[in-house]
Amino acid sequence: MNEGLIEIPGYRVHGRLGKGGMAEVYLATQLSLQRKVAVKVLLNAEDQAFSQRFIKEGHIVAALHHPSIITIHDIDRLADGRHYLAMEFVAGGDLARHKGEAFEPQRALRIVRQIASALAVVHDHGLVHRDIKPANILFRDDGTAVLTDFGVAKEVELDHDLTQFGIAVGSPAYSSPEQAQCQALDARSDIYSLGVILLEMLTGSNPFRGANYTQTLMNHLQMDLPDLPAALHGYRWLLERMLAKDPDERFADCQVLLASLDELQQPELDSSRGGPGLQPAGQTAGARRKRLLWALFGVLLLGGAGGAGYYGYEQLQIADYLAQGEQRLGAGKLLEPPQDNADYFFRQALALDAHNRQALDGLQRVLQARIQGYLEQAEQRLGEDRLLLPEDDSATFYFRQVLAWEPDNLLAEAGLARVAQRFIEQSEEAYARREFALALEYIKSGLEVQPANETLLGLYDDHDRRVALAQAPRPAATRTSSAAKPREQAKQNPIKRLWNNIFNN
């Protein structure tokens, strides 16, 4: 009925999240478990080869179990023959949204570690992803990076199926040299692509991206790693290994890469290698606090406290994290800046004490503050009549985000009802102006917000009748001239007829 939304048995579809060349993705609720999911639906069922690859993607991902790999919940097909995948809804956006940003190194390394750990599982299953790029790295609300879109993943031993015909796969800006030359790929190709992403996160730009497709591929084949800012020199050895033109000179697999990332987290190692042991010239307040806490820990140990000394240090560390979390929460620093926000410090406390009530309460208050902020944003956009567009900055977007965090939030539910009501009002105003096509668009937009809204459904079903009625010619019997009306009325009024006779004689 509504062209903007589709019907999927067992799901309540809320709206479309995005659309690509072969598929589109919808936000929906899986009714059996009342959980939000992202449903990826093929645009058509005619390309059997692509449909089979689509189904295979679902089977591949469903067999992989890792915190940083997207979870598949369901694989099925619609009545019109199109296949769909229902997967975990990841609300934190993708890495591509941060294009142009230079990340703090530890944040960039944390993301690379999580994706490398996921790729280790992928590679252990004899697969290569082949399309590692920022748009395929999503973020959960807690900041965890999640690898998605295995649409071109392939068994290593079968990779020649495409490459023997000279068909390049993947995204040019993140392709390995062997991808650019349509050669067979293995795990080291994914490592190269991840290296490009790391370089882009550290510097804020991708130097391999050229003015056109050909130039981009040539850059991957010929361009050396560019000079890095002085503050990033310690990471050059890591990038050189990940971005080596010859696969044999890269890390052999993701396990070796992860071990090297571990070295970057060990400040006691010899820094002459140029990687581990890096410390910025300007010490942060957090670094000074840690030195102070370690000094206290040393005093406790020297005093014979032993295990009790370590426990004391841990409690001091937790107390420090909680205090920092409260301070950032009070300052409104909920998720930013990275590693210096309320969410970060409360989670650090939970890493040491998973059941710490103050930290759990702190995270809940962070969530409530975010919900309140989004509700205020939604009200502002509603007042500006930014009801459904732009997709990521409209009243509907903010109300739905609140419901993703808190499905029973009455204010958000009422807010969506008010958005739908505004579309009802706009459609009636358009009907009054005889702008029938616009009225129908308003109705369809309202149904994107509330697909089950009875008033909107009635308006949609009644649209053709109203248009026909408004455009039909008026019957001749109703076209009585204005001059004839007084005479007709006088004939029907005996008192008025008598009055006229007296004064007309």
Query: Which residues are catalytic, by number?
Result: 131
Please identify which residue in the block is written with the tokens 């419901």.
Answer: 403
* Element of type H or E holding 43: none
Q: What gap in Å lies between CA 38 and CA 94, rounded to an integer?
A: 14
User: In terms of Cα–Cα distance, which of 460, 374, 475, 384 is closest to 422?
Assistant: 384
Among left, alpha and beta (phi > 0; psi -120 to 50; other), residue 229 is beta
Q: What gap in Å lies between CA 120 and CA 113, rounded to an integer?
A: 10
Cβ contact 45:81 at 8 Å? yes
Give percent helix, percent strand, percent coil of the chain, each to the nearest 5: 55, 10, 35
Residues 6+ apart with CB under 8 A from 36: 27, 28, 29, 30, 89, 404, 407
Please identify which residue in the block is written with the tokens 């009225």.
Answer: 439
Please identify which residue in the block is written with the tokens 């929460």.
Answer: 329
Q: What gap in Å lies between CA 479 and CA 289, rounded to an integer?
A: 90
- Give me the DSSP letters along 447-498: HHH-TT-HHHHHHHHHHHHHHHHHHSPPPGGG---TTHHHHHHHHT-HHHHH
Q: At CA 7, angle to CA 50 and CA 447, rounded to 5?
A: 125
Residues facing 26 on adjacent strands: 16, 39
Alpha-helical (H) ranges within 353-394 are 357-383
